[in-house]
Structure 1
Amino acid sequence: MPEACTLPTAEQPLRAAEFDALFATALLDLDRREPGHVRLVLDRVAEERARTLAQSETGCCSFFTFTFHGGEAERLLMDISAPAEHAAVVEALAVRAETARAG
């Protein structure tokens, strides 16, 4: 985790598991918009869980920005972005999402 992350080391695997579970059960598509910005297309049934996870993540990693958009009736768009110095963290999250969805 980057130095700007204040999540205690012992809690980091739990947070990663929360993201993995979201990706495994709700990720429909992923689009790398530009370095440091990825758009996830999620099943709308996971909206509350995705919003809660995003709020928790910005509470400890303030460099993240999570934005939600309506999308289609059954889909929720979740944009995740960070400043250029943290673009690699967004890319790592995108890779994690692809891996969890494939598995």
Structure 2
Amino acid sequence: MTTKPLAIDDWVPQACTLPTAEQPLRNAEFDHLFATGLLGLDRLAPTRLQLRLDAATEATARDLAARETTCCSFFAFDYAPAADGELLVEVSVPTAHVAVLDALATRAAATARLAA
């Protein structure tokens, strides 16, 4: 099954149950997290993305991820402390939602001004 890549400004999947009016606010919350706390990202597999965040953003990242999984239940977030005050957040999705993870990675890198 081939899916159309999602644009950086349109990464919200059709499966998302967050009301349309609230989606720009959620996007802004992710953008703020990426702009202020994202130190790097690594694509571990097509269905897995690892975000390296400043450990000071852990509460914000956990809260945002918890709320995101209520509307996009296909996301899974796992956390692990890392060296040098960093937090590793692994984001995984089923194969059917790889395009969403691709768009999230692109948006995160662009917002944090990282090389994708």
The TM-score by the shorter chain falls in which range?
over 0.9
2:40 match: 29
- Report deviation, 1:2: 2.2
Matches of 1:59 and 1:73, distance apart in 2: 31
- The number of equivalent residue pairs is 103
**Secondary structure at 1:85 match in 2:** helix
> Paired residue for 1:65, among 65, 76, 95?
76
Q: Please report the TM-score for the alignment, with normalisation by the length of structure 1.
A: 0.95
> Paired residue for 1:46, among 45, 52, 57?
57
- Report deviation, 1:73: 4.6
Runs of 4+ in 1 over 6 A off after TM superposition: none
1:95 match: 106
- Give 1 or 2: higher helix fraction: 1
RMSD: 1.2
Q: Please report the TM-score for the alignment, with normalisation by the length of structure 2.
A: 0.85
Matches of 1:3 and 1:99, distance apart in 2: 23
**Secondary structure at 1:92 match in 2:** helix
Query: What is the letter of the counterpart of residue 12 of structure 1?
Result: Q
- Report deviation, 1:72: 1.6
1:16 match: 27
Matches of 1:80 and 1:20, distance apart in 2: 16
Greater Cα radius of gyration, structure 1 or 2: 2
Query: What is the letter of the counterpart of residue 80 of structure 2?
Result: H
Unaligned runs of 5+ in 1: none
